[in-house]
């Protein structure tokens, strides 16, 4: 029986959780130590940008990257996203995770390398997510380049203007919360048959 078509934010969040799990397993042989914890939350926004604070996710310095999704190239050129992925990692864990995923070692004291490393991981997750959605019958979403930040971004993150809810998904590795994803997403059109 074919997989059901994902229809709405809760379904997209489940696909994202499965995509992260799959990416970790395939790229690094990493198993989650427990099921991802998913919570639907209200979007806190200012001037139609999501307020983002990584210190709410971890009790340590954290880094996060943002990738926006678009229904097509025209929407991307007009910067009208259908969704946004915000991917958080404790700053001290970025180098270790990249190494486990068979990327070259990076200097964990080099802020630019940590920011780029988080962006690389976010891009990898977003790529798996877009492919998994497409395999389930959604149009192939276009992705923005990533933007990375430490702890917070003053202007917030642009998102689909019709959204008021987001999902926060916590991922534990070796018994500790190591990764957090936030997803906001409007309905994604079906791919043409």
Predicted pLDDT at 153: 78
The rounded average pLDDT for each run of 10 residues, N- to C-terminus, in the chain (193 residues) is 70 96 94 95 78 84 94 92 93 91 88 94 96 92 94 76 89 94 91 76
Predicted pLDDT at 1: 37
Those residues whose C-beta lies under 8 Å from the C-beta of residue 182, and which sit 6 or more positions away, are: 50, 52, 84, 85, 86, 87, 88, 166, 167, 168, 169
State pTM to two decimals: 0.92
Predicted pLDDT at 3: 58
Q: Which domains does the chain have, with CATH numbers?
A: 9-185 (3.40.1550.10)
Pick from 169, 186, 182: nearest CA to 37? 169
């Amino acid at each position: 029986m074919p997989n059901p078509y994902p229809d709405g934010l809760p379904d997209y969040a489940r696909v994202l959780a499965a995509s992260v799990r799959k990416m970790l397993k395939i790229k690094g042989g990493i198993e989650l130590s427990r099921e991802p914890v998913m919570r639907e939350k209200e979007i806190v926004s200012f001037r139609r940008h999501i307020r983002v604070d990584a210190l709410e996710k971890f009790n340590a310095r954290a880094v996060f990257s943002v990738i926006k999704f678009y229904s097509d190239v025209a929407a991307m050129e007009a910067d009208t996203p259908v969704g946004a992925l915000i991917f958080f990692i404790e700053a001290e864990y970025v180098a270790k995770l990249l190494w486990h995923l068979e990327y070259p070692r990076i200097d964990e004291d080099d802020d630019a390398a940590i920011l780029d490393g988080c962006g690389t991981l976010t891009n990898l997750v977003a790529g798996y997510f877009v492919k998994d959605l497409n395999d389930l019958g959604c149009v192939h979403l276009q992705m923005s380049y990533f933007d990375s930040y430490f702890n917070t971004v003053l202007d917030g993150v642009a998102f689909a203007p019709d959204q008021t809810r987001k999902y926060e998904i916590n991922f534990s590795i070796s018994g500790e919360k190591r990764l957090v994803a936030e997803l906001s997403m409007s309905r994604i059109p079906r791919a043409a048959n």
